[in-house]
Structure 1
Amino acid sequence: MEPRQNAWDKDIGRIDEHARTIIAHSPFVLLATSNADGACDLSPRGDPAGSVLVLDDHRLVLADRPGNHRLDSLRNIVHNPHVGLLFIVPGMNETLRVNGRATLVSDAPFFDDLTVQGKRPRLAVLVDVEELYMHCAKAFLRSSLWRPETWPDRGGLPTLGRIAKDQLRIKGVSAKELDEGLDLDARTNQY
């Protein structure tokens, strides 16, 4: 079945006023990359809303912040510059999709504008926008993502410390101690 024409026409290929507004209000974006062989990676990126900078109608930039230290996204961009971004605004069912080519930047005049809580990033991801369009609300509506009354009870889910202890077979430390260390690291090493 061929998509309707309006499904193709919604790609405006540039950052218009509406996209700028959504990007400015999004504290969370997913960055999709793949390596030269096509193996994919999807990385969550979070900063205060307004931290992704729109440089002009065809370029945006996001800071690279400390994460799991695997550097999958960065290594992938070096070998394959094609990226996808999905901007999410809490409470908004529609998302903004951006596809383009990324470049890693280690310094530029806009780096001071990427500083959060006094921390200037060491690297940034500059994206030349090739495709840009709104994605419909159906997935968020089906999942009831923004409805807290539908969320699972966290008591029935394992903690990251429990998962790490079991999956990595960590000895000599309890899952509770791992959780405390992971929580401290997450709170103190954000930037």
Structure 2
Amino acid sequence: MTDEGHRIESVEQLRALVGEPLPRVRDKVRTSLHELDRQWIAASPFCVVSTAGADGRCDSSPKGDPAGFVKVLDDTTLALPERKGNKRVDGYLNVLENPHVGLLFVVPGRGDTLRVNGRAHLVSDAPWFDEMEVEGHRPVLALVVEVEEVFFHCAKAFMRSRLWHPATWDPMAVGSRPQIAKALERPEDSVEELERYYGEQYSTGLY
């Protein structure tokens, strides 16, 4: 077994290492959406949805669509559309057991992010589904989130990672999507078949 090092097992141990947050950081959490939050959500084409089941097992799922795909229903309610996918719905299964969710909204090129925590439920249809239509397709369902906490997160993680710096990008440092699928998911298919599948037609069938 790998040596895990010195494990931290108490709040006191943790605080002794990292210290206490400044009052302005501690108190920046709000319970409803500000106009600036609305603007950020309208500009965001990408959101990560984090959930946990009744047994504590966690899932983080990326969601993406044209900017503004997440609909603000009111100052304390958001709705995220679900498009057709692989049908695993791990996060949605979690929500049926445990409604607590965490959202992270990203705006390309920006280092800061918007975090929203709340309670969620699923709906199969609503009057505003028509407003979520993309390329003639309405959502399969929607995740409705009742906001409990909302705040902006600083840019240091993006600055350290240099995520938006193209000079640091190296997409060929890991196997291609067809290579990964061949090794781990679809060993019965040839690499050539997988390259065709993940080629141009893959991007034309998003909706």
TM-score band by shorter chain is over 0.9
Greater alpha carbon shift after TM alignment, 79-88 vs 156-165: 156-165
- Cα distance in 2 for residues equivalent to 1:110 and 1:180: 37
Checking the alignment, whether the CA contact within 8 Å between 2:95 and 2:120 is kept in structure 1 is: yes
What is the aligned partner in structure 1 of residue 11 from structure 2? none
**Aligned partner letter, 1:159:** S
Question: Secondary structure at the residue paired with 2:72?
Answer: strand
Checking the alignment, whether the CA contact within 8 Å between 1:62 and 1:124 is kept in structure 2 is: yes
**Aligned partner letter, 1:177:** E
Are residues 138 and 120 of structure 1, via their aligned partners in 2, closer, same or farther at CA, if it must alter by over 3 Å? same
Deviations 1:131-189 (A, max 9, x none): 0000000000000001101111x333211111121124613x32232122133563133
What is the aligned partner in structure 1 of residue 204 from structure 2? 188
Structure 2: which 5+ runs fail to align?
1-18
Please report the TM-score for the alignment, with normalisation by the length of structure 1.
0.94
Are residues 74 and 183 of structure 1, via their aligned partners in 2, closer, same or farther at CA, if it must alter by over 3 Å? farther
Are residues 35 and 183 of structure 1, via their aligned partners in 2, closer, same or farther at CA, if it must alter by over 3 Å? farther
- Cα distance in 2 for residues equivalent to 1:169 and 1:130: 41
Checking the alignment, whether the CA contact within 8 Å between 1:107 and 1:123 is kept in structure 2 is: yes
Identity of aligned residues (%): 51
Report the number of matched residues: 189
Is residue 77 of structure 2 the alignment partner of residue 56 of structure 1? no
- RMSD of aligned Cα (Å): 1.4
What is the aligned partner in structure 2 of residue 32 from structure 1? 50
Are residues 186 and 80 of structure 1, via their aligned partners in 2, closer, same or farther at CA, if it must alter by over 3 Å? farther
**Aligned partner letter, 2:138:** R
Checking the alignment, whether the CA contact within 8 Å between 1:66 and 1:189 is kept in structure 2 is: no
What is the aligned partner in structure 2 of residue 129 from structure 1? 147
- Cα distance in 1 for residues equivalent to 2:198 and 2:87: 14
Greater alpha carbon shift after TM alignment, 132-141 vs 8-17: 8-17
Is residue 167 of structure 2 the alignment partner of residue 170 of structure 1? no
Are residues 84 and 186 of structure 1, via their aligned partners in 2, closer, same or farther at CA, if it must alter by over 3 Å? farther
Are residues 55 and 100 of structure 1, via their aligned partners in 2, closer, same or farther at CA, if it must alter by over 3 Å? same
What is the aligned partner in structure 2 of residue 179 from structure 1? 195
1:122 Cα deviation from its structure 2 partner: 2.2
Which of 1 and 2 has higher RCO (CA within 8 Å, sep 6+)?
1
Deviations 1:55-96 (A, max 9, x none): 111001010112222110111111111000000000011000
Is residue 147 of structure 2 the alignment partner of residue 147 of structure 1? no
Checking the alignment, whether the CA contact within 8 Å between 2:111 and 2:154 is kept in structure 1 is: yes
- The structure that has the greater radius of gyration is 2
